[in-house]
Amino acid sequence: MNRTIQFAKRNIIELSRDVLGYIFCIAFPILMLIVMSVVNESIPKEAGMHIFRIDYLSGGIIVFGQTFVMLFTAILVATDRSTSFLMRLFSSPMKSSDYTNGYILPMLLVGVIQSIVTVLASCVIAGITGTELKVAGLLLVILFSIPSALMFLSIGLIFGSLFNEKSAPGVCSVIISVGTFLGGIFFDAEGVGGPILKICKCLPFLYCTKVARSTIQMDFQWESFGKPLLIVSLTALALVCLAILTFRSKMKADQ
């Protein structure tokens, strides 16, 4: 456990010194939150569009931010693999669980911090626009967005293990685009319906958004919260296992 903590500490320092991390993981989601709130203010009330209303939007933005956690996990792992730093560690008494936990824990922390910042920014925007937000929902979303954060960082761990530092960000950007679009973050997937909704329902991203949105609105029904949470949690569990297996097998192959 001590070695896991040491490695996690090192990864936190690495991340905290990367300016791009602050820009993409914190500033960019907040910027999107502000821009979309401005867009919402420009939409006439008669249109009946609520997708950009802060109580809907903030859940989606939490998930949007998590896609960048995936990107930075992939970059960190891929960069470590490309330098001989990991090679030196492979010759140390560290166990494979020390590596995977040492990557997962700090990135999960980043995900939680990101959710807190998004929630705080949402409160400010809600105050300005006069939208009502439920405090309990805002607090609970920090907890219930953990499975989706775990899911995204596991994807990052898999890509970082499989691809090099140049190709991993490219592959991640595909997932960011697909996840944002098919996750219904900036459009109402259920309102659109048809084949798009069918595709959205085949992927886990829409369920991540639904969990976050429902939690913020304190809507804990099975269809809107329970079922999506179960799907996201099971997907996260499967992806964590896959990420651990992928990292271990690449660790052996790299040697």
Partner 1 sequence: MEMSQNKDMIILDNLSKHYGTKKAVDGISLSVKEGEMLALLGVNGAGKSTTIKMLSCLTKPSGGTAKIDGHDVSKEQTLVKEIVGISTQDTAIARNLTVEENLSFMAGIYLDPKSYDKKARRERVEEILQDFKLDEVRKTKSSKLSGGWQRRLSIAMAMIGNPKVILLDEPTLGLDVLARRELWREIEKIKKNRTIILTTHYMEEAEALADKIAIMINGKIVMAGTLEELEEKTGQKGLENIFVSVAEGDRA
**In the complex with partner 1, which residue's Cβ is closer, 81 or 210?**
81
- Binding track over 90-129 against partner 1, x by CB under 8 A: xxxxx-----------------------------------
| Least CB distance to partner 1 at residue 102 (A) | 10
| Least CB distance to partner 1 at residue 76 (A) | 10
CA distance 23 to 108: 18
The 10 Å CB-count burial string (b at 16+, else e) for 60-79 is bbbbbbbbbbbbbbbbbbbb
Among 151, 163, 170, CA closest to 234: 151
Per CB under 8 A, the list member of 45, 46, 47, 88 interacting with partner 1 is: 88
Between helix 54-82 and helix 205-216 the angle, nearest 10°, is 130
**In the complex with partner 1, which residue's Cβ is closer, 56 or 99?**
99
Q: Which residue has the tokens 């949105």?
A: 213
Q: DSSP 3-state assignment of 186?
A: coil
Per CB under 8 A, the list member of 6, 167, 173, 177 interacting with partner 1 is: 6
List contacts with partner 1 (CB under 8 A).
2-3, 5-7, 9-10, 13-14, 17-18, 83-85, 87-94, 255
